Amino acid sequence: MEISRKLPIGRQSFSNIRNGGFIYVDKTQYAYQLILQNQVYFLSRPRRFGKSLFLSTLEAYFLGKRELFRGLYLEKAEEKLAQLENREAWQEYPVLYLDFTAKNYENKAALLERLALNLRDWEEKYGVEKVSDSPEERFAHIIRHAYEKTGRQVVILIDEYDKPLLETIDSPKLNEAYRDTLRAFYSVIKSSDQYLRFALLVGITKFGKISVFSGLNNLRDISLQASFSGICGITESELEATFAPEIEALGLELGQNREDTLATLKKWYDGYLFAEKGENVYNPFSLLNAFASQSLKRYWYATGTPTFLVEYLKVAHYDLPNLDGHVLLTADAMEHYIADARNALPILYQAGYLTIKGYIAEGNIYRLGFPNDEVRYGFLNSLLPAYTSLSASDTGLAIWEFVEATKSGDVDGVMTRLQTILAGIPYVTASPDEAVKLYERDYQAVIYVIFSLLGQFVQTEVQNAGGRADCVVHTQEVIYVFEFKLWSSGTPEKALEQIRTSGYALPYQSSGKRVLLVGVSFDEQKRTIGAWKVEEL
């Protein structure tokens, strides 16, 4: 089914979307809430979630472009706001918009060049004489002069404030130099408070330790506030109200009715939660691409593989099964990111690979996990090459071979493939005792990733806690119950005995399918599968 409506994929300009006849999900009620309270705000959200579009919307409002807001929430709300503030509606304010996205930050000069370019443009626009080579002194002078020239307070909008910092994580000295420069630059927002009407800074992370915001004690962080949980992304009600024709077209392509299509979209792209009592949102980039191509793929994930985050998890020998809904982080850790190989979890949340799954009020602790299948399987695919000799291009094929062998009941084929992959776990430079522990952790990680990836095609239950089999795989005709043991702690026969005596297979006795018990031992010396035994229930 062909859809003629224009989808704003990759569009970040509010005026372009409104003038170009693109579909627009009305987020101006959030703009009204922020404008009404007249403060300095900070918002963190993952990439491609609509932060730039929201800033562009605010820019259009503060420039008084009333025609762009026809039919939107803010059109009527502005009349009310103008009465409250005893002014004319749709006043124009001086707007200083700084976008850090359009540059690569490879050396100290790169950041200074980016700042200088914007400062020069603002000086020309408001007729300001350059008073210094110092970015912060020029910034402060521009703000005061723009206020005095126009008679109206200044609006500051900063997009991807943290891009220079994120790009230099692996260069500590340059990263620290950037922090010093930005800290001084942003402190001007505090010292110029009397001249400001509004300010919003957005990015992916909120850096901790020696924060770039240390001088901004008037900064209000709305990133984890329930009332702003839907400010970026698409809520379920917005999806159904705005995209009915696209949902219908996708359903026809998938051979599903409307209810099943919505359930499929929810499984693939929903699940992002940015406040413990907030509203879930869909990934807008993936959703729009799915409608445009009328197919389900990993659109958002494909735009940026988290290579350094995967490496952080590996270096820390993190317990990977926890990623699927069992990560615990304090509120402080959630809000402040410190580049540290010992703890990649805060940036995994802020970058969008994990999201809020629950909240423990007594400890002020968040429980995190993968938001949806797009991220779950995309991230797991990225993990496997990091832990084995498989290349990124070979991962999909290797998993599909597992699926084929599993569906056909070929246990030997499954185990032989597993044996080959596990043999590729790299050597660990450590003492003998420590090396065995690390091999065991990496071995368990690879087992978890492989069987989790099978979940794209067959139903799997991978162990997350004690008390049940290490892995259960369901196919149309066969159910596999796996138990894995290190060679030093048990043979395949002992693994089978544990399955029997613990009753791991009993829930599947009445399934009408063949139930295969598979006991597996891992040879620490050869660092791969040593032997396996199969028994049918």
Q: What angle do CA 63, 66, 68 make, to 5 degrees?
A: 100
For residue 210, name the pLDDT band (cuts at 50, 70, 90): low
- 190 neighbors 231 (Cβ within 8 angstroms): no
Find the range with the poorest average confidence among 133-137, 200-204, 413-417.
Answer: 413-417
Determine the pLDDT at residue 40.
94
Determine the pLDDT at residue 255.
97
Between 300 and 442, the higher pLDDT residue = 300
Is the model's pLDDT at 439 over the cut of 80? no
**In this prediction, what percent of the chain has a pLDDT beyond 90?**
67
Q: What is the mean pLDDT of residues 189-194?
A: 94
Determine the pLDDT at residue 355.
97
Is the model's pLDDT at 74 over the cut of 80? yes
The amino acid present at 341, given as its one-letter code, is A
Is the model's pLDDT at 414 over the cut of 60? yes
Distances (CA, A) of 13 to 22, 73, 261: 11, 18, 30
CA–CA gap between residue 357 and residue 18 (Å, rounded): 35
CA–CA gap between residue 372 and residue 296 (Å, rounded): 13
Q: What angle do CA 121, 122, 125 make, to 5 degrees?
A: 90
Q: What is the mean pLDDT of residues 325-351?
A: 81
Return the structure tokens found at 337: 């990111």
- 172 neighbors 132 (Cβ within 8 angstroms): no
Determine the pLDDT at residue 252.
96
86 Rama class: left (phi>0) / alpha (psi -120 to 50) / beta: left
Is the model's pLDDT at 390 over the cut of 90? no
Find the range with the poorest average confidence among 95-99, 418-422, 432-436, 500-504.
Answer: 432-436
Between 18 and 484, the higher pLDDT residue = 18
Between 321 and 158, the higher pLDDT residue = 158
For residue 421, name the pLDDT band (cuts at 50, 70, 90): confident
CA–CA gap between residue 9 and residue 283 (Å, rounded): 12
Is the model's pLDDT at 215 over the cut of 80? no
For residue 474, name the pLDDT band (cuts at 50, 70, 90): very high
Is the model's pLDDT at 339 over the cut of 70? no
For residue 430, name the pLDDT band (cuts at 50, 70, 90): very low
Return the structure tokens found at 382: 């990225």
Is the model's pLDDT at 476 over the cut of 60? yes
CA–CA gap between residue 19 and residue 16 (Å, rounded): 5
As a whole number, the mean pLDDT across the chain is 90
